Each structure stands twice: as C-alpha cells, then as structure tokens.
Structure 1
Amino acid sequence: MPLTAIDRTTFVPVYWSAVIRLRIDLAYDGGGFYGWAKQPALRTVQGEIESALHRILRVPDGDVDEPLRLVVAGRTDTGVHASHQVCHVDVSEDVLARAVGHMDVPPVVALTRRMQRILPPDITIRSITPAPDGFDARFSALERTYVYRIADRASEVDPRMRGFVLHLDADLDVAAMNEAAAMTIGLHDFGSFATPNPGGTTIRDVKTAYWRRIPSRPLIGNDEAMGERYRTPAVESGLLCFTIVADAFARNMVRSLVGGCVQVGIGKRSLDWFAGKMATPLREGSTGPIAPQGLTLEHIAYPADDQLAARAEAIRAKRTL
C-alpha cells in the first residue's frame, strides 16, 4: 500500500542519552583480594566495585548497552594495597540519574554516597567526579608511585602493621640496596624483573627509585613543653621503605626489583649480579617477586586537563629503547 503524505512525514523521535565519564579515586586493603582485575569466582577489587555500580544503578550484569566496565590506572596484584588508586567508568546520563532516588543532591554526589555506603570496609571511595575531556585513567597518567615497606632487624616490629609491612629477620645493607636501586633509573628494558602484557613490552621509564629508613619522630610533635608522655613514635618510625616512581610498571616489576635489592642487601647477591640483570633482560628464578603485603600504590599523577588526550594518545604507542 503506498504511503500517504502524512505517512511519509510521520516519525518516532529517538532520544539519545549523553554518556558521562566518571573519575573514581579510591583506596583499598589488598589483603582480601585476588588483585584488581575481575576474575570468575574470585574476590577482586574491580569485581566488588562493578557489582556495587550495577546494584546502585539497577543495570543487569552483562548488559551490552551499559557494561559499567572500569578502566584502571594500574592493575595491582593479589595482596597489593592502594592508598590512592584511580579508575574511570562510562555511564549514560539517564542511568546515572537512577542513583539519586530520594536524595536531593546531584547524581554524582548521590552515587558517591551510595558507593561509600554499599562497598565492603576494605575499599574506600575517596571521590567520584565528572572526568575532563580526554581523560583516560590508564593512558593519561604521567607516572605512578609505589612504596614497599619492610621491618628488618633495625626496625621495631609492630604486629598491627603486619598486613602492609613485610617482616624480615635480617640485617640489610641499605647503601648497597641504594646502589642497586640507582641502576633502575632511566629508560630500561626490565625483562629480568617483569613479564609483559600480551602484545606489550617490559620497557619502562623510572623517574626515581631509592631506599630510606623512616626517621623516628614523635606522634604529636616535638614541643619540649608537652613532656615525655607525648613522644610516642609515629607508626612508620624505623621502617625501611623503597619508593619508586615510573611512567608505568610491568607485571610484578616493583616486587621483583625489591626482591633483587633485598638479595643484594642481605649479601646473597652482588651489585655486579644486579647490574647484569639490568643489562640482559632475561627472566629466571633468581629475580622473582617478593611477598606482596609490603607493597602499596601511593599516587597517580596526571597532566593538566588540556594535555590529557595528547598524553593518552602518546602512551598507547608501543615503547622501544
């Protein structure tokens, strides 16, 4: 049947909901997780957060139109902690509005409050904000900072900190460990201390790496007038900490570098051995990762908003030496 003039001009309007990218800043105690990345039947940080998003926004798991899939700045391994992790998620504006419910607040504020309430106590949402144009939690990042904490024989072992500090019954040569750490600074292939992702490399640019013992300092200040009873040491006083900053890290890279430095520090390996491993990027048994509980992701740095997209584009290129 031919269409009439009215039929030809009649249409059903289609309404498109804008997609909003949200930046999520968070922290977690990694002791109860099998790492960041979502895995079937295993408890992971990504799995817990995505599950909470699906519940709050009433989106079925596996929805192809609204996957609520997180992209993270750095995927931490099993047992590794984060005091400041960053991820992003894309969500439709109308779906995000479901977080409001009976609250008289903007949708992002409502989502933040509900996430803070629903997540388990070993995950803390620090903030959720609309991401600026060009932001990618993974590819826009300039650098990541990790700290590995050790209580050795020169430290006072505090049992309250066993979840995020490695206890070693050993005397460590900190000067030798710093000589080893200095070899890692710059652009290198860390193939002796890391494994690449599929299609990736182990080439990374380390900005700084050093060992330092946290000085003993009073918990509440050093005012003589306050008296001796106020001179309780801060909780980290005396710990030996390895701080490393790089543009990115390959899998197991930090823990393996710590393990190598510790072998030098206890005299099991020489500085020449460490230099050889840096010069020849070949993975073998002597450069495996140390225990995970001492490692914490402390900071992610990003460029100015107008440089986010350019940074993301540049970092996607495969690295070479």
Structure 2
Amino acid sequence: MTDTTRLRLDVSYDGGDFSGWAAQPGRRTVAGVLTEALGRLFGPEAPLGLTVAGRTDAGVHASGQVCHIELPTAEWEARRDTLLRRLAALMPPDARVKAVRPVPPTFDARFSATFRRYEYRVADTVYGPEPLRRHDTLGWVRPLDLTRLHEAAAGLVGLHDFAAYCKRKEHATTVRAITRLEWRRDPDGVAVATVQADAFCQAMVRSLVGAMLTVGDGRRDPGWPAKLLSLRERSSEVTVAPAHGLTLVEVGYPDEAEYASRAEATRRLRA
C-alpha cells in the first residue's frame, strides 16, 4: 500500500467566470481547473480525493476556501518546496492556491469544519459600485438603513429550519445554526453583511441577504424575514440576491485533536 500524506490547500478565486466549485462536464469550474493543474504535476490518474469545505455556486467568490487532497508521500516530499510556485504557473489568474500544508489523516475539509463565514457587499450609493469592485459588489438603487438591517438580522440568528430560504434537496435537512449575522458600513460606504453558520444549504446566504435588503430599503417590516422561518418550503416572496456580491471568507476548524470527533459529529448531524 502506498504511503500517502493528506494536504490542506487554502484557495481563493474570482467566481465570475466559473460555474461554481464542483466539476461539471463541459463547464469551467474551480475544482476542474485545480484538478487539471494537479494532474499536470502528478499525472491525470492520480487519486487525489479532492474534498472541499463548501461547494460555492456559480458566480460566488472565495478568499478563504479550504480543500484537502491525498498525495503519495514521496511525491509530496519531492515537491513540497516548489508546489505553490508550480501551481501558480499552472492555474488561471482567477484562481489561486495560497497555501499548502500537511495535516493529520483525521482532517476533513468538509466534515471537520466548525463554521463557514461569508460576506456580501452592497453599494447603495447613487452612482453604484466603484468600478474596481463591480465584480464583487452589488449595486442597490435604494438607500439602505443599517438599523433596520440589524433588526432583520437579529431574528434569524440561532438554530432554525431555513426551508423558506433554501433550495431543498431530497433526504437533506434544511436545519442550520447561524451563529453570526450582522451588517456594517466599511470606510468606502459599502454595506457588508457577515453571515456565519455551521453550514449552509444551497442559495441560503443569498436568499437571506435578498430578504434583508427589502427590509433595509423600507419595503418590508424588520420582523418579516424571521416570520418566514415558520414555513416548511421555499418562499416565493424571497428574491435570491445576485451571486457576484458574495464571498466565502473563512472556514473554521477545531484543534487537531478534535478533527476526527468533529467530522463524526457532523456526519451524524447531516444524516
């Protein structure tokens, strides 16, 4: 049996020209270009076992994505000092591997994670987003009141069934625990939502943002987003915010000694 080493890869990408993370036939995806680059280094048949913390949707960006792979230890030892530079030469300019490091075999990029944190940027200035930030910032034509946004966010924090905000998948739960949901104004005047949870179901973050924006601009009552939590199916009243304003900024993990127990607990919860 070949001795292998598990590696953690920290990845960032501009999601604008990707059809999401997951590999899809005939489509350009982040996993696709990463696998292609690794294949050119280690051979196209190398069983990498690429596993990601969170499969971002088409158009969504990441500055703090995490994944793991398995490499034959001899291959890793031979390339450990040059792997980042080699990947930089092989990857396209809109996707980067920023760090590679060995981790215990108990580390699982997906199931060992304790949280995922996203940020959503919204420019409500009359002139719209700054041109240099147009690819990661949504332009909103109505002024946003941060006090109303804070009130709307407060009602969504905690453990809830977010069926009203999710694209339901068969045999998958829509119960999630949001531990942080808040808004701020950055020095450039952009309103930024921070959303953190143990995990998210498909389109959940953008649906939450879409609902809160209608509160922030005065069209909905601050308590309305929380009232939708009583629903057990997706709400047709919720507009999903565009993908390009959303960025995965951090994935959290416990101490090394807790990787396995955390992964086991997450698998049990998802089942």
What are the Cα deviations for residues 213-234 of structure 1, in whole angstroms up to 9, with x where unaligned? Answer: 11x3xxxxxxxxxxxxxxxxxx
Does the alignment pair 1:71 with 2:51?
yes
The residue aligned with 1:247 is: 198
> What is the alpha-carbon distance in structure 2 between the residues aligned to residue 135 and residue 157 of structure 1?
39
- 2:262 is paired with a residue whose SS is helix
1:257 corresponds to: 208
Equivalent in 237, 259, 263 of residue 312 of structure 1: 263
Q: Distance in 1 between matches of 2:218 and 2:144?
A: 8
Residues 1:198 and 1:129: Cα distance change in structure 2 (over 3 Å): farther
Secondary structure at the counterpart of residue 254 of structure 2: coil
Matching residue of 1:43: 28
Tell me how far apart the structure 2 counterparts of residues 108 and 286 of structure 1 sit (CA, whole Å). 51
Residues 50, 69 of structure 1: 8 Å contact kept: no
Contact 1:70 1:89 in 2 (8 A): yes
Out of 136, 142, 148, which is 2:120 matched to?
148
Separation (CA, whole Å) in 1 of partners of 2:116 and 2:70: 23
Q: Which amino acid aligns with 1:41?
A: G
Cα separation, partners in 2 of 1:198 and 1:53, compared to 1, 3 Å: farther
Residue 41 of structure 2, aligned match among 56, 70, 88: 56
Aligned partner of residue 82 in structure 1, secondary structure: strand
Q: Residue 161 of structure 1: CA displacement?
A: 0.6
Q: Specify the code of the residue in structure 2 equivalent to 1:42.
A: R
Is 1:158 aligned with 2:130?
yes
Q: Does 1:19 align with 2:4?
A: yes
Asked if structure 1 preserves the Cα contact closer than 8 Å seen for 2:8 and 2:103, the reply is: yes
Identity of aligned residues (%): 42
The answer to whether the Cα contact below 8 Å between 1:183 and 1:278 also exists between their aligned partners in 2 is no
Partner amino acid for 2:41?
I
C-alpha contact (below 8 Å) 2:64/2:251 kept by paired residues: yes
Change (3 A) 1:249 1:74: same
Of Structure 1 and Structure 2, the greater strand share is in: 2
**Deviation (angstroms), 1:175:** 1.3
Q: Match of 1:110?
A: 82
Measure the CA separation in 2 of the matches of 1:189 and 1:82. Answer: 26
Q: Find runs of 4+ consecutive structure 1 residues off by over 4 angstroms.
A: none
Structure 2: which 5+ residue stretches go unaligned? none
- 1:132-187 deviation line (CA, Å, top 9, x unaligned): 23100000011111000000037873111100000111111221121111111111
Cα distance in 2 for residues equivalent to 1:255 and 1:180: 15
Q: Supply the distance in 1 between the matched residues of 2:68 and 2:169 (Cα, whole angstroms).
A: 21
- Please give the secondary structure, in 1, of the residue aligned with 2:269: coil
2:160 is matched with: 188
Structure label with greater radius of gyration = 1
The alignment's TM-score, normalised by the length of structure 1, stands at: 0.80
Q: Measured at CA, do residues 272 and 209 of structure 1 come closer, stay the same or move farther in structure 2, by a change above 3 Å?
A: closer
Structure 2 partner of 1:84: 64
